[in-house]
């Protein structure tokens, strides 16, 4: 089974490498001995994230999530990096492809499937919903010190 690789880490950052997107199918997420999800890898623990979780997943042609799910508190962003398929939220089904981005509120009943002919590659970012404010939008600070490479 494939594993995440740490590139660099220090007090204020962690960098990892998940590998080539076309090799995501080498990962297997084991939720229980009888529940294994091929092509999915969570990155939050390896990155030491404190405000979100993220995962990459590859769906081979003809495969799907296989279940609907919701969250208690977490909103999710699904960002599609390659392939084509369909997304379902609360019974609404719509096409997705490379470049599609879908936001789903915690209560949304969601699922995804690859009905295309090539792998469907997805990045999912999960974070606590209803917490971002206008003040947060102005949180960044541009520093006056020069960038040195």
Give 134's pLDDT tier (boundaries 50, 70, 90).
Answer: confident
What letter would DSSP give residue 146? P
Q: How far are the Cα atoms of 37, 109, 114, 116 from residue 59, in angstroms, in the given order?
A: 10, 19, 6, 10
Helices (H) and strands (E) in the chain, counts: 2, 12
For position 141, what pLDDT does the model report? 92
Which domains are present in the chain? Answer: 5-129 (2.60.120.10)
Give 136's pLDDT tier (boundaries 50, 70, 90).
Answer: confident
Q: What are phi and psi of 47, to 5 degrees?
A: -85, -10
Residue 137 has pLDDT above 90, yes or no: no
Residue-wise pLDDT tens digits, 30-58: 988 888 899 999 999 999 999 999 999 99
Average pLDDT over all residues of the chain = 95
Q: How far apart are CA 115 and CA 59, in angstroms?
A: 10
84 Cβ contact partners less than 8 Å away, ≥ 6 residues apart: 95, 96, 97, 98, 114, 115, 116, 118, 120
């Amino acid at each position: 089974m494939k594993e995440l690789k740490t590139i660099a880490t220090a007090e204020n950052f962690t960098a990892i490498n998940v590998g080539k997107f076309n090799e995501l199918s080498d990962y297997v997420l084991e939720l229980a001995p009888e529940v294994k999800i091929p092509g999915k890898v969570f990155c939050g623990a390896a990155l030491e994230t404190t405000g979100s979780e993220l995962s990459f997943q590859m769906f081979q042609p003809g495969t799907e999530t296989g279940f609907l799910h919701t969250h208690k508190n977490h909103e999710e962003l699904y960002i599609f990096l390659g392939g084509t398929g369909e997304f379902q939220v609360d019974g609404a089904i719509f096409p997705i492809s490379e470049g599609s981005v879908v936001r789903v509120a915690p209560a949304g009943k969601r699922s995804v499937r690859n009905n295309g002919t090539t792998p469907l590659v997805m990045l999912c970012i999960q974070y606590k919903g209803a917490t971002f404010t206008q003040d947060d939008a102005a949180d960044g600070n541009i520093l006056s010190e020069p960038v040195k490479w």
